[in-house]
Amino acid sequence: MKDPYEVLGVPRDATADEIKSAYRRLARTYHPDVNPNDPTAEEKFKEVGEAYAILSDPEKRARYDRFGTAEEQPVGPFFNGAGGIEDIFEMFFGTGFQTQNRRRGRDGEDLRADVTISLSEVVTGTQREVRVRRQSQCPECMGSGSEGGRPPETCAHCRGAGTISQIRQTFIGTVRTSTTCPKCGGAGQVITSPCRRCHGQGLVTENARVSVHIPAGIESGSTIHIPGQGSDGVGMGRPGDLYVVVLVEDDPRFERQGRNLLGYLNLSFPTACLGGEVTVEGLDGPVRLTIPPGTQAGTVLAIAGAGLPPLHGGRRGDLLVEVNVEVPRHLTEEQKRLVRQLDQALRGEAPPTEEEGFLAKLFRKKK
């Protein structure tokens, strides 16, 4: 459509009088009776008339200024620009009710399965089979629900449309709504002789095994999403998804701290004093740990790379070993004598007798 202002040759802020006089002048110029030999005149005359019809009507003129067309807008300014009635509906009423009709069917259910793995399996990642009880397409009728796979008949209620249309008045104006046909549930077709295996449902219950890859470094309680491995849909509906929740078994030897593992180690008094090499049981085999001489109780020693890998690859964490120094509880007379001898050597003087005791200073622990 041509710009009516351009056709009449008037500015956009032209007054009603200016528009009227421009129209009269042009109408006289292009009138077919005045120009019997000019074939374009009639076309021009029509254009001028249409332009005047818009600009002489304040309502149509306002609409043209706003929307670029004088056509009546079905439900107001929301329809300006792209999008259609579906977008507007999704805006006001949510997406749910349209989706079913469009796809002609029902989506399959999402399912959940739990799997428990050991802490060692977190190091390497693992493959597991989970059992799921799901609804799957009936093999007898290929999911059609109709005996022998016979094609279903067109629904008489909605004449195959799957939807029933209604004109409604709403706060945004007159709108046409579609609701799912109650007879056929939106399928547009009805089954006259239902399949005996699935009773016309198109779905049967089956116990399936689904292989799941569990990545290294996974945290306990994480969910693995496997699209399409839930229950099958009906008709054109999509299959649901499977969500596998992974639990990591507690390991009595280690406390998990993200990528690091923490374990406790009892050291003998002499080893703590003198230092030495010990072998500790790591998550994936024995690992050597060097004890520096004079190691105090509560010291945390790290074995680099003996922890867990991060989820998306990278360097493994550490195995942290917190040291406890064991004090012998029961000593023979000979052992007691040796300890007293050691005490004396360390002090450089004779230790106090049991009766005397000794004066010891208290201190506050640094925080």
* Residues making contact with Zn ion (CB under 5 A): 138, 140-141, 155, 157-158, 181, 183-184, 195, 197-198
- The structure tokens 């003996």 sit at 306
Q: Which is nearer to Zn ion, 127 or 207 (CB)?
A: 207
What is the nearest approach in angstroms of Zn ion to the Cβ of residue 137?
8
Q: What angle do CA 188, 189, 191 make, to 5 degrees?
A: 155
Q: Which is nearer to Zn ion, 163 or 271 (CB)?
A: 163
What is the nearest approach in angstroms of Zn ion to the Cβ of residue 160?
7
What is the nearest approach in angstroms of Zn ion to the Cβ of residue 102?
15
Q: Which is nearer to Zn ion, 141 or 321 (CB)?
A: 141
What is the nearest approach in angstroms of Zn ion to the Cβ of residue 165?
12
What is the nearest approach in angstroms of Zn ion to the Cβ of residue 153?
11
**Nearest to 8, CA basis, from 67, 70, 69, 51:** 51
Q: Which is nearer to Zn ion, 181 or 272 (CB)?
A: 181
What is the nearest approach in angstroms of Zn ion to the Cβ of residue 132?
20
Q: Which is nearer to Zn ion, 118 or 193 (CB)?
A: 193
What is the nearest approach in angstroms of Zn ion to the Cβ of residue 183?
4
State how far the alpha carbon of 294 is from the alpha carbons of 273, 277, 297, 325, 356, in Å: 5, 13, 10, 11, 29
* Nearest-angstrom CA–CA distance, 215 and 210: 16
* Nearest-angstrom CA–CA distance, 182 and 157: 8
Q: Which is nearer to Zn ion, 87 or 153 (CB)?
A: 153
Q: Which is nearer to Zn ion, 200 or 240 (CB)?
A: 200
Residue 85 has φ and ψ, to the nearest 5°, of -60, -30
Q: Which helix (H) or strand (E) holds 139?
A: none
User: For residue 52, how many C-alpha atoms fall within 13 Å in the half-sphere facing its CB?
Assistant: 17
Residue 200: CB atoms within 10 Å = 19
**Nearest to 112, CA basis, from 204, 207, 215, 229:** 229
* Nearest-angstrom CA–CA distance, 19 and 5: 9
Q: Which is nearer to Zn ion, 142 or 338 (CB)?
A: 142
Q: Which is nearer to Zn ion, 189 or 229 (CB)?
A: 189
Please state whether 332 falls in left (phi above 0), alpha (psi between -120 and 50) or beta.
beta
Contact yes or no for 80/65 (Cβ under 8 A): no
What is the nearest approach in angstroms of Zn ion to the Cβ of residue 178?
12
DSSP 40-81: HHHHHHHHHHHHHHHHTSHHHHHHHHHHS--SPPSSSGGGSS
Q: What are the start-end ranges of the H helices in the chain?
A: 4-8, 16-30, 39-55, 58-67, 85-93, 96-103, 119-124, 269-274, 333-347
What is the nearest approach in angstroms of Zn ion to the Cβ of residue 212?
29
